[in-house]
């Protein structure tokens, strides 16, 4: 819905338009034809929600069972099946998926968890929220993900876990990281919030460690508005996660542990089920755009690197530029949206105590810039983005 004027006032009208005409709200031209004003900007991202999602949500609303119904269980089963995991546990958002995962593994005060600093701060916050200490590691200069070489120096006798982030949709080398963790006596968790559909040597991300977590925020490849998912092959771990998300209730009025309320609603799950059916087509479109960008932009900027054996999901197409201020100005002149992920890494945030300097992380933070790679980006808009980047690189 980004780019619409007064979206809170017209969202119901757009939903009615979808149901009446079968049109999708991710098509600005169709919206303009029906009198809606669309900003003249190529957005970096926006939720791709259409008539199928509206119909699914409407079906649940009319059923009267908005929570605790069949949609969540079906979404969990379908999502886990897509990833190749035994269990899916749906929760309120991607951050709490990490937090509950850490709690279910028994990680808490006195424990250290190695995390990348070059990530959204939720990864580190989840560690702090369970009372453990995040220990920040540097990143591989090519993929901007953790690697065994960057993690091993940060391991201590207090290390209980490593969280690998599949940043921007590129998979971290989790087979090697899992081997390192097992040799050290700690566990691997995977933060795959940005990487649904990514694979490492033909294996879906999130299935290498003890558990993997995903986010369904509106800008993600699959959205439920807000939501998250934990996947695991461990039956006992899955049961602990289900207890923790539902007040520790093993049965109605029978609470075997202390938990919280982080259940997903059937409304959100119904939307997620529809979104999941579109994921592969959307990811193919993202990879096609990435190929176009690679072809034209690699002589003038540092384009994303894909490691051998990696299937990139391209949640973001993040370039590294010599003069970011000049590049931003060129994009703004052309009406192209962009994002800076992340200009201040976690280890430099005021919310965390002073940390050791991380040279590769800090260098990336000064140079990164993400450009639109939406599945619905038109060829004309793609050309506009390319030209703006070429102009900014001059």
Identify the helix (H) or strand (E) that includes residue 140: none
Residue 138 pLDDT > 70, yes or no?
A: yes
Place of tokens 């197409």: 317
Among 241, 271, 301, identify where a domain stops. 271
pLDDT tens figures, 254-309: 898 989 989 999 999 999 999 999 999 999 999 999 999 999 999 999 999 999 99
Sign of the dihedral through C-alpha 191, 174, 365, 368: negative
Same-domain pairing of 223 and 351: no
E strands within the chain? 87-91, 112-116, 133-137, 159-165, 187-191, 199-200, 203-204, 211-215, 228-232, 249-251, 254-255, 310-311, 317-320, 368-371
CATH number reported for the structural domain that contains residue 335 in this entry: 3.90.1150.10
Residues 229 and 293 in one domain: no
Residue 173 is given by DSSP the state -
140 in Cβ contact with 119 (< 8 Å)? no
60 in any annotated domain: no
What's residue 354's pLDDT? 79
Residues 235 and 91 both lie in one domain: yes
> Measured between alpha carbons, how far is 44 from 372 in angstroms, rounded to an integer?
4
Residue 195 falls inside a structural domain: yes
Q: Is residue 58 part of a domain?
A: no
pLDDT number for residue 40? 60
Q: What is the mean pLDDT of residues 232-252?
A: 94
Query: Are 321 and 369 spatial neighbours (Cβ–Cβ below 8 Å)?
Result: yes
- Residue 116 in any domain: the answer is yes
C-alpha to C-alpha distance for 110 and 276, rounded to whole angstroms: 39
Q: What is the chain's Cα-based Rg?
A: 21
Question: Residues 124, 221: one domain?
Answer: yes
**DSSP, residue by residue, 21-90:** H---TT-HHHHHHTT--B-SSB-S------HHHHHHHHHHHHHS--SSSHHHHHHHHHHHHHHT-SEEEE
Residue 265 belongs to some domain of the structure: yes
Domain boundary among 235, 255, 271: 271
Least trusted range by pLDDT, from 6-20, 262-276, 374-388 = 6-20
Q: Is the pLDDT of residue 32 over 80?
A: no
- pLDDT at position 18 over 70: no
Does some domain include residue 258?
yes
Q: How far is CA 60 from CA 53, 202, 269, 319, in A?
A: 11, 35, 10, 41
Instruction: Tell me the angle at which helices 94-104 and 235-245 cross, rounded to the nearest 10 degrees.
Output: 120
Q: What's the rounded Cα separation, in Å, for the pair 140 and 116?
A: 10
> How would residue 17 be classed by pLDDT, with cut points 50, 70 and 90?
very low
My answer on whether 354 and 320 are in the same domain is yes
pLDDT of residue 182: 98
| Residue at 267 is within a domain | yes
Indicate whether 82 and 126 sit together in one domain.
yes
Dihedral of alpha carbons 221, 222, 225, 227, sign: negative
Q: Token digits for 61?
A: 């609303």
* pLDDT at residue 23 greater than cutoff 60: no
Q: Based on the domain organization, do 237 and 381 belong to the same domain? A: no
265 plus 306 within the same structural domain: no
Q: The tokens 């876990």 sit on which residue?
A: 161
145 and 168: one domain? Answer: yes
Q: How many domains does the chain have?
A: 3
Q: Which residues constitute the domain of residue 20?
A: 1-40
Instruction: Give the global pTM.
Output: 0.90
Do residue 123 and residue 158 come from a single domain?
yes
For residues 344-364, give the mean pLDDT.
93
Q: Which band of pLDDT confidence, cut at 50, 70 and 90, is reported for residue 63?
A: very high
Q: CA 306 to CA 199: how far, in whole Å?
A: 11
Percentage, residues of the chain above pLDDT 90: 85
pLDDT at 22 over 70: no
Confidence of residue 232 (pLDDT cuts 50, 70, 90): very high
Does 81 fall in a domain? Answer: yes
Q: Are residues 263 and 314 in the same domain?
A: no
Q: Which of 26-30, 231-235, 325-329 has the lowest mean pLDDT?
A: 26-30
Residue 230: give its domain's CATH number: 3.40.640.10
Residue at a domain's end among 250, 271, 292: 271
pLDDT tens per residue across span 72-93 = 999 999 999 999 999 999 999 9
Provide the mean pLDDT of the chain. 91
Residues whose CB falls within 8 Å of the CB of residue 344, separated by 6 or more in sequence, listed in order: 365
Q: Tell me what pLDDT residue 29 has.
A: 46
Query: pLDDT class for 99, splitting at 50, 70, 90?
Result: very high
Confidence band, pLDDT 50/70/90 cuts, at residue 393: very high
Are residue 21 and residue 143 in the same domain, yes or no?
Answer: no
């Amino acid at each position: 819905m980004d780019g619409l004027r007064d979206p809170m006032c017209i969202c119901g009208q757009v939903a009615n338009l979808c149901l009446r005409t079968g049109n999708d709200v991710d098509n600005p031209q169709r919206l303009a034809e029906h009198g809606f004003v669309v900003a003249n900007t190529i957005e970096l991202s926006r939720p791709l929600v259409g008539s199928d999602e509206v119909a699914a949500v409407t079906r649940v609303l009319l059923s009267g069972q908005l929570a605790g119904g069949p949609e969540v269980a079906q979404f969990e089963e379908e999502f886990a099946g897509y990833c190749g995991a035994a269990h899916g546990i749906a929760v309120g958002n991607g951050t709490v998926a990490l937090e509950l995962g850490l709690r279910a593994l028994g990680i808490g005060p006195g424990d250290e968890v190695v995390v990348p600093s070059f990530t959204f701060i939720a990864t580190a916050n989840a560690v702090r929220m369970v009372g453990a200490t995040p220990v920040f590691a540097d990143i591989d200069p090519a993929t901007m993900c953790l690697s065994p070489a960057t993690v091993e120096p940060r391991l201590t006798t207090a290390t209980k876990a490593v969280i690998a982030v599949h940043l921007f949709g590129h998979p971290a080398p989790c087979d090697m990281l899992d081997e390192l963790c097992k040799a050290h006596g700690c566990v691997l968790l995977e933060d795959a919030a940005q990487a649904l559909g990514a694979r490492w040597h033909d294996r879906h991300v999130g299935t290498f460690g003890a558990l993997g977590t995903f986010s369904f925020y509106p800008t993600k490849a699959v959205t439920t508005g807000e939501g998250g998912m934990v996947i695991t092959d461990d039956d006992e771990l899955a049961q602990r996660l289900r207890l923790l998300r539902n007040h520790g209730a093993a049965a109605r009025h029978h609470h075997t542990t202390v938990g919280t309320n982080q259940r997903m609603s059937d409304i959100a799950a119904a939307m997620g089920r529809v979104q999941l059916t579109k994921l592969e087509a959307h990811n193919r479109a993202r990879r096609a755009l990435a190929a176009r960008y690679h072809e034209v932009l690699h002589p003038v900027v540092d384009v994303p690197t894909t490691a051998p054996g990696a299937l990139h999901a391209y949640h973001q197409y993040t370039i590294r530029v010599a003069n970011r201020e000049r590049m931003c100005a060129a994009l703004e002149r052309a009406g192209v949206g962009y994002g800076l992920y992340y200009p201040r890494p976690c280890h430099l945030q005021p919310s965390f105590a002073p940390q050791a300097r991380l040279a590769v992380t800090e260098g990336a933070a000064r140079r990164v810039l993400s450009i639109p790679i939406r599945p619905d980006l038109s060829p004309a808009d793609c050309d506009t983005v390319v030209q703006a980047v070429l102009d900014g690189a001059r």
